[in-house]
């Protein structure tokens, strides 16, 4: 059994600084804040966790000793070991602490011991605590009180999530999730709300209320509570130390004249019948007006002047992941929020709606199997204010799966409740792709959840910032799109979005884009007509450049030479040559790409190759410099030209031979007949595999009996075994799975390792 200590004993140990305090899971938001308090108080601290983070490195800068991973020997020399509810008794360091007789304490007990000699102001509730705690800390700072504080998230205005000072006050965000808020004996507390939550720890709302009741009994002075919350009001309306706030008529501190707007809110506070003054916030939503009123009530009760309260709250920009705006401009807003409970989701969406955007695209990551199961019906209408709702799989947060509960549980529930815009995306990559494909000017993307869903908001915001930089670079000279679906630009008709799609007006704009990518370390991908291209379902990062504008589609003929831009379709070159009486290029008529793409892969057909007709090529390097290179200085291989790994084809000079128009037409007719008799008409990327030295790939696939084999809507053509066709709605993953099936069969049956001829790009 753990060697338990009471608060006085822990405090004595801290005051006398008798040895080192060892913190398990020190990289977590709760434990890292505690580490900072201890270090700033002068206590010797060590800690362990699975990964070293930026926060851990900052703590090491304050003197903490960090151990990556959990090992028994790391407890040696510690006077005290602290753990959170996420650290189980079987953790090797906890096991060793018990073996050595080193006392173990919960994180909350150690935090409570730090508060004993201070006036402890506790903020409690099912949700909204981080925002309210941050607000109160800011108000006390504005009033010159310089409080110590401990908050569950980083707060930009405060510069951190925790700080120790020698002032009389400490402001604490109490964690009710594991019942540890009962460790505190505050001088005053605020209770924002009490709802069914954390039912992995509590049996029911009855147990939750019991835990809050213990906290109230241990509070020495006032309890500020929300009269609009049924459970809080029920527990405290008869309590002599209770002081109610809210919209209700019986509130001692009452909100009137609330105005919600795109910036935030404005409202008036009354104390009884007396007008206290007006508050204006730059964070949105009715729920934040309520949180601010709770803070105002507490501060006024502590004797803080209203002007200081008003000034601090007017500048408060919010805590990390509490309606945190990651991107904002004339077209889009991307917001990240910690909301993971139905009430939080509903309130956050209401705040989003007040911003006045055309549509709200909500992205939600369900948190824990137990919460998903027990609050499923509460979630049914929580997303009503969203135009589209995208769901990921459940973030387990160390929970084991529960039978019958999975990523489809909430989407199915919300859809059954009548919401028409529900999308199940599964993975984080999948949800980002799905959202990006729906994004329109005038949209707000609201990302919500308590797991790792915040990365989606970060990535979307980063993408849109880069898009705006490229937009200013291009200055309207060309076509520029964000998240352009690559299925529109491949002959196979599959593929996720290009992060940025650019069709530069001319070589000057192309050069600027190339230089920008080199400077910013952004990937640049050249896209022709997509005729030999397979783009994966999550698309292509960086800038995809297509030379489709007029400047790159010129054809000039002088004598036997044909000079063509990289964007010209091969078919157009063939017919321009025919018109000029030049033959020898007829084989290109059936290749569905443009000249730039054909040059990059030395495209061929009918036993002929593009570089057999090339005299020279104009290219741009990845720094924007242009040169013309004669054919004899260009290395060429089967389906590969190494030059174009780091150069972009701008144009080429081809040569033909004098030929009668009728003879050219006869050759074209023969090639066309042969092609249409052996190749499918359905969307494809051309030949899928390179021919093996011993047998053509199409013949091999035919002999293996794989024709007409399918995965999803991708199928091996009956006309030609080396063509995979899209029967309608195929995904890149279908095509890749079918390719893998062919490769495995060929190697198992014939010992032949097929290589892809189609170019595969993307994530």
- Using a 10 angstrom Cβ sphere, with 0-12 exposed, 13-18 middle and 19 or more buried, the burial of residue 115 is buried
Is the per-residue pLDDT at 205 higher than 90? no
- Phi, psi dihedrals of residue 565, rounded to the nearest 5°: -75, 160
* Helix ranges, 162-270 (H): 205-217, 230-236
**Domain termination residue (choose one: 107, 127, 149):** 107
User: What is the rounded average pLDDT for all residues in the chain?
Assistant: 90
The predicted-structure confidence for 381-390, as pLDDT tens digits, reads as follows 999 999 999 9
What pLDDT score was predicted for residue 176?
A: 76
- Using a 10 angstrom Cβ sphere, with 0-12 exposed, 13-18 middle and 19 or more buried, the burial of residue 53 is middle
* Helix ranges, 439-588 (H): 454-474, 507-520, 570-579
Do 99 and 123 share a structural domain? no
What pLDDT score was predicted for residue 17?
A: 60
8-state DSSP, 186: -
Residue 93 falls in the annotated catalytic set: no
The closest alpha carbon to 504, from 522, 496, 516, 494, belongs to 516
Distance CA 725, CA 702 (A): 15
> Does 717 fall in a domain?
yes
The predicted-structure confidence for 734-763, as pLDDT tens digits, reads as follows 999 999 999 999 999 999 999 999 999 998
Average pLDDT of 438-466? Answer: 95
> Does 225 fall in a domain?
yes
> Does 27 fall in a domain?
yes
Instruction: Using DSSP bridges, classify how beta strands 78-83 and 160-163 pair: parallel, antiparallel or unpaired.
Output: unpaired
The predicted-structure confidence for 273-309, as pLDDT tens digits, reads as follows 999 999 999 988 899 999 999 999 999 999 999 999 9
The predicted-structure confidence for 684-731, as pLDDT tens digits, reads as follows 998 999 999 899 999 999 999 999 999 999 999 998 999 999 999 999
- CATH number of the domain to which 147 belongs: 3.40.1190.10
Q: Which among 55, 126, 130, 745 is annotated as catalytic?
A: 130
Instruction: Using DSSP bridges, classify how beta strands 614-621 and 169-173 pair: parallel, antiparallel or unpaired.
Output: unpaired
Distance CA 151, CA 88 (A): 24
What pLDDT score was predicted for residue 747?
A: 95
> Does 491 fall in a domain?
no
Average pLDDT of 642-649? Answer: 90
Buried b (16+ CB within 10 A) or exposed e, 386-402: bbbbbbbbbbeeebeeb
Distance CA 315, CA 135 (A): 10
> Does 179 fall in a domain?
yes
The predicted-structure confidence for 378-434, as pLDDT tens digits, reads as follows 999 999 999 999 999 999 987 899 999 999 999 999 999 999 999 999 999 999 999
Is the per-residue pLDDT at 160 higher than 90? no
What pLDDT score was predicted for residue 571?
A: 87
Own/partner pairs, 398-401, CB within 8 angstroms, 24+ separation: 398/86, 399/200, 399/368, 399/369, 399/370, 400/369, 401/369
Do 338 and 295 share a structural domain? no
Question: How many CB atoms are located within 10 Å of the residue 640 CB?
Answer: 13
* Helix ranges, 580-693 (H): 595-601, 661-678
The predicted-structure confidence for 43-89, as pLDDT tens digits, reads as follows 999 999 988 988 899 999 999 999 999 999 999 989 899 998 778 89
What are the C-alpha distances in Å from 94 to residues 51, 75, 180, 563? 18, 8, 19, 76
Least confident interval from 81-85, 103-107, 662-666: 662-666
Distance CA 589, CA 569 (A): 9
- CATH number of the domain to which 738 belongs: 3.90.78.10
Is the per-residue pLDDT at 3 higher than 60? no
Residue 560 falls in the annotated catalytic set: no
Q: Do residues 368 and 394 lie in contact, with contact meaning Cβ atoms separated by under 8 Å? A: yes
What pLDDT score was predicted for residue 580?
A: 85
What pLDDT score was predicted for residue 436?
A: 95
Do 165 and 95 share a structural domain? no
Q: Do residues 314 and 292 lie in contact, with contact meaning Cβ atoms separated by under 8 Å? A: no
Do 345 and 309 share a structural domain? no
Do 378 and 255 share a structural domain? no
Distance CA 684, CA 725 (A): 5
Is the per-residue pLDDT at 18 higher than 70? no
Where would I find the beta strands (DSSP E) of 320-394?
324-328, 332-337, 359-364, 388-392
What are the C-alpha distances in Å from 585 to residues 546, 547, 578, 658, 715? 24, 22, 9, 11, 32
Do 67 and 149 share a structural domain? no
> Does 536 fall in a domain?
no
Distance CA 711, CA 65 (A): 54
Do 703 and 617 share a structural domain? no
The predicted-structure confidence for 110-138, as pLDDT tens digits, reads as follows 998 888 889 999 999 988 889 999 999 99
Structural element, H or E, at residue 742 = helix 732-750
Do 281 and 175 share a structural domain? yes
> Does 501 fall in a domain?
no
The predicted-structure confidence for 537-560, as pLDDT tens digits, reads as follows 999 999 999 999 999 999 999 999
- CATH number of the domain to which 61 belongs: 3.40.50.720
Do 306 and 183 share a structural domain? yes
Structural element, H or E, at residue 299 = helix 286-301
Least confident interval from 129-143, 568-582, 603-617, 666-680: 666-680
Q: Which among 93, 104, 154, 173 is annotated as catalytic?
A: 173
8-state DSSP, 489: G
- CATH number of the domain to which 600 belongs: 3.30.465.10
**Domain termination residue (choose one: 610, 636, 666):** 666
Do 386 and 310 share a structural domain? no
What pLDDT score was predicted for residue 638?
A: 73
Is the per-residue pLDDT at 258 higher than 70? yes
Q: Which among 55, 118, 126, 129 is annotated as catalytic?
A: 129
Distance CA 526, CA 54 (A): 37
Coil vs helix vs strand at 82: strand
Do 414 and 363 share a structural domain? yes
> Does 454 fall in a domain?
yes
Q: Do residues 123 and 216 lie in contact, with contact meaning Cβ atoms separated by under 8 Å? A: no
What pLDDT score was predicted for residue 1?
A: 39
- Domain, as residue range, for 24: 7-107
Average pLDDT of 247-269? Answer: 92
Structural element, H or E, at residue 744 = helix 732-750
- Using a 10 angstrom Cβ sphere, with 0-12 exposed, 13-18 middle and 19 or more buried, the burial of residue 440 is exposed
What pLDDT score was predicted for residue 676?
A: 61
**Domain termination residue (choose one: 618, 644, 666):** 666
530 vs 17, residue with greater confidence: 530
Do 338 and 292 share a structural domain? no
Q: Report how many domains make up the chain.
A: 5
Buried b (16+ CB within 10 A) or exposed e, 227-260: bbbebbbebbeebeebbbbbbeeebbbbbeeeeb
Q: How confident is the model at residue 180 (pLDDT cuts 50, 70, 90)?
A: confident
What pLDDT score was predicted for residue 2?
A: 43
Residue 612 falls in the annotated catalytic set: no
- Phi, psi dihedrals of residue 311, rounded to the nearest 5°: -65, -45
8-state DSSP, 452: S
Structure-block tokens of residue 192: 């924002």
Q: How confident is the model at residue 535 (pLDDT cuts 50, 70, 90)?
A: very high
């Amino acid at each position: 059994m753990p060697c338990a200590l009471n608060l006085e004993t822990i405090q004595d140990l801290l005051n006398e600084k008798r040895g080192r305090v060892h913190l398990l899971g020190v990289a977590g938001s709760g434990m890292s804040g505690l580490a900072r308090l201890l270090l700033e108080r002068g206590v010797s601290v060590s800690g362990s966790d699975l990964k070293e983070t930026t926060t851990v490195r900052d703590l090491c800068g304050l003197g903490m000793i960090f151990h990556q991973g959990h090992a028994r020997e790391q407890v040696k020399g510690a006077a005290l070991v602290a753990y959170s509810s996420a650290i189980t008794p079987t953790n090797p360091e906890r096991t060793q602490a018990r073996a050595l007789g080193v006392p173990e304490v919960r994180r909350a007990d150690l935090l409570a011991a730090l508060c004993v000699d201070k006036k402890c102001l506790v903020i409690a509730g099912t949700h909204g605590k981080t925002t309210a705690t941050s607000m109160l800390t800011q108000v006390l700072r504005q009033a010159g009180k310089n409080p110590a504080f401990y908050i569950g998230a980083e707060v930009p205005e405060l510069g951190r999530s925790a700080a120790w000072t020698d002032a009389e006050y400490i402001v604490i965000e109490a964690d009710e999730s594991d019942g540890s808020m009962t460790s505190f004996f505050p001088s005053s507390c605020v209770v924002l709300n009490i709802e069914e939550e954390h039912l992995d720890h509590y049996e029911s709302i009855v147990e939750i209320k019991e835990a809050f009741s213990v906290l109230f009994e241990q509070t020495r002075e006032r309890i500020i509570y929300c009269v609009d919350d049924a459970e809080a009001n029920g527990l405290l309306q008869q309590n002599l130390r209770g002081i109610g706030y809210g919209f209700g008529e019986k509130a001692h501190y009452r909100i009137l004249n609330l105005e919600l707007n795109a910036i935030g809110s404005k409202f008036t506070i009354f104390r009884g019948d007396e007008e206290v003054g007006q508050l204006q916030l730059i964070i949105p939503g009715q729920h934040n007006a309520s949180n601010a009123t709770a803070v105002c009530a507490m501060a006024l009760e502590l004797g803080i002047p209203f002007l200081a309260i008003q000034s601090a709250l007017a500048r408060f920009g919010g805590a990390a992941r509490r309606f945190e705006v990651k991107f904002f401009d004339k077209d889009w807003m991307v917001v990240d929020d910690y909301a993971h409970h139905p009430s939080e989701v509903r309130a956050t969406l209401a705040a989003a709606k007040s911003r006045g955007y055309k549509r709200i695209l909500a992205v939600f990551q369900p948190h824990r199997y137990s919460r998903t199961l027990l609050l499923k019906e509460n979630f049914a209408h929580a997303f009503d204010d969203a135009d589209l709702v995208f769901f990921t799989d459940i973030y387990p947060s160390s929970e084991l799966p529960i039978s019958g509960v999975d990523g489809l549980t909430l989407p199915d529930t919300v859809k059954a409740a009548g919401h028409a815009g529900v999308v199940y995306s599964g993975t984080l990559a999948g949800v980002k792709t799905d959202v990006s494909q729906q994004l329109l000017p005038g949209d707000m993307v609201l990302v919500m959840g308590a797991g790792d869903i915040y990365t989606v908001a970060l990535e979307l915001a980063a993408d849109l910032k880069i898009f705006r930089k490229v937009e200013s670079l291009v200055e309207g000279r060309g076509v520029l799109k964000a998240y352009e679906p690559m299925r529109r630009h491949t002959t196979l008709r599959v593929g996720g979005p290009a992060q940025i799609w650019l069709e530069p007006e001319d070589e000057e704009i192309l050069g600027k884009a190339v230089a920008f990518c080199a400077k910013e370390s952004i990937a640049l991908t050249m896209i022709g007509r997509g005729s030999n291209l397979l783009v994966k379902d999550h698309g292509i990062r960086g800038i995809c450049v297509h030379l489709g504008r007029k400047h790159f589609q010129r054809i000039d003929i002088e004598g036997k030479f044909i000079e063509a831009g990289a964007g010209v379709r091969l078919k157009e070159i063939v017919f321009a040559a025919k018109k000029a009486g030049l033959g020898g290029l007829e084989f290109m008529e059936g290749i569905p790409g443009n000249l730039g793409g054909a040059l990059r892969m030395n495209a061929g057909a009918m036993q002929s190759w593009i570089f057999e007709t090339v005299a020279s090529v104009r290219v741009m390097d990845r720094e924007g410099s242009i040169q013309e290179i004669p054919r004899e200085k260009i290395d060429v291989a089967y389906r590969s030209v190494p030059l174009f790994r780091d150069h972009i084809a701008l144009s080429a000079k081809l040569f033909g031979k004098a030929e009668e128009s009728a003879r050219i037409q006869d050759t074209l007719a023969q090639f066309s007949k042969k092609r249409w008799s052996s190749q499918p008409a359905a969307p494809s990327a051309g030949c899928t595999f390179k021919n093996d030295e011993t047998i053509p790939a199409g013949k091999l696939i035919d002999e293996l009996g794989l024709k007409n084999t399918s995965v999803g809507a991708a199928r091996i053509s009956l006309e030609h075994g080396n063509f995979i066709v899209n029967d309608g709605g195929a995904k890149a993953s279908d095509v890749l799975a079918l390719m893998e099936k062919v490769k495995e069969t060929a190697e198992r049956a014939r010992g032949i390792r097929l290589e892809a001829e189609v170019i595969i790009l993307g994530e």
